[in-house]
Structure 1
């Protein structure tokens, strides 16, 4: 049986999907997330969230500061899960994009004269702030969570490796080599990091864990050498 490595713990349904396809899986969390205390800058009504972790940290801060419940904001975000999580918690989402680059270009065209507060982590890529700065759009960043690498050495060869973030790639490659093992990534940003170590990178059709598993099941047998 072919066995793959997932750099995050999967749900029971996701593990079962692999088992049904006669694929074994070894799972571990290559990164951990710590939500941070922060001071919320004032004067902004347009908030940008690049991940669900940023939303979690903001909501925790809001729960600890009841006066913020009166604040009316409009949100821009990256990723469908981030959008759903915002809406589930009563937040208005103006625009959801698949990646930060797409979101930045949308803002530059449609909201060039507005002011934005970006909720970010310590390892976020510079794509968003680079374009906003280039377009002279006013913004401020507040770091609300920390991504920690959790390197782990693996004394075996896998037939595939699943990555869900650039940080996951960095964590894995601190202790291991990818070599010729096929790599399956959740999106282009993660794939960009993976291509530094591998020429055998496949990107999921949608930026979800389920889609990564689907593309793995569909392509693994043809990619194994």
Structure 2
């Protein structure tokens, strides 16, 4: 068995793929997200989401239905699917915030954008909005908390799903000779500050990351 650490809890289906290929899996949630109270005010004519966590938090608001008529742009295919599933119109999505920023600069300069964010959000999109003088406001709707644990058993690989996950892991652990698998370029940027021994999944999705791990160890 090849021991690997996942820094978030996987679904049964995701775990099954790895178990069938001879991996033994340790799962620890190194970050926790919590919805917070917020007010829906000064809402623009275009909504911006960069994570599913933001959508889930907005869906808990008693006045959520007042937002459903406003179109959205977002980061991530899964984020777009969750918006569509909940009856929002998704005008456009990109897999990375940098690419969505380029879209905003080309197509959204006349909009009033409301960005639903978390406390550890990156500055990429706020900088695009400010630097291009695009009318916008930001509403923080969830909180990410680093939840570090000491990992004592040696691992062949560690799976990371966000820059925050790496930061949390390194609070009580360090990298040695494990292969670090990253869910996309943004997470890989954080990994590169601490190790050269990292691999980026083809797409920034959990399924793609799992395929990447399987391919690496079975080929």
Question: What's the TM-score once normalised by structure 2's chain length?
Answer: 0.95
Secondary structure of 1:205 counterpart:
coil
Q: Distance in 2 between matches of 1:220 and 1:153?
A: 25
The answer to whether 1:65 aligns with 2:63 is: yes
| Equivalent of residue 112 in structure 1, options 90, 109, 112 | 109
The alpha carbon displacement at 1:192 in A equals 0.8
Contact 1:45 1:72 (C-alpha < 8 Å) held by counterparts: no
The answer to whether 1:125 aligns with 2:127 is: no
Secondary structure of 1:220 counterpart:
helix
The answer to whether 1:143 aligns with 2:137 is: no
Contact 2:45 2:111 (C-alpha < 8 Å) held by counterparts: no
Contact 2:44 2:111 (C-alpha < 8 Å) held by counterparts: no
5+ long unaligned stretches in structure 2: none
Contact 1:49 1:75 (C-alpha < 8 Å) held by counterparts: yes
Decide whether aligned partners of structure 1 residues 176 and 78 sit closer, same or farther in structure 2, where only a CA change above 3 A counts. same
Contact 2:49 2:115 (C-alpha < 8 Å) held by counterparts: yes
Q: Distance in 2 between matches of 1:30 and 1:206?
A: 22
What corresponds to 1:39 in structure 2?
39
Decide whether aligned partners of structure 1 residues 71 and 15 sit closer, same or farther in structure 2, where only a CA change above 3 A counts. closer
The answer to whether 1:82 aligns with 2:102 is: no
> Where do 1:7-46 residues align within 5 Å?
7-46=7-46
The alpha carbon displacement at 1:134 in A equals 1.4
**Post-superposition CA distance 1:160-182 (Å, at most 9, x none):** 00000111111101010012211
Q: Alignment RMSD, CA only?
A: 1.5
Q: Distance in 2 between matches of 1:211 and 1:60?
A: 30
The alpha carbon displacement at 1:196 in A equals 1.2
What corresponds to 2:181 in structure 1?
184
Secondary structure of 1:60 counterpart:
coil
What corresponds to 2:53 in structure 1?
53
The alpha carbon displacement at 1:69 in A equals 3.2
Q: Distance in 2 between matches of 1:139 and 1:179?
A: 44
> Where do 1:201-216 residues align within 5 Å?
201-216=198-213
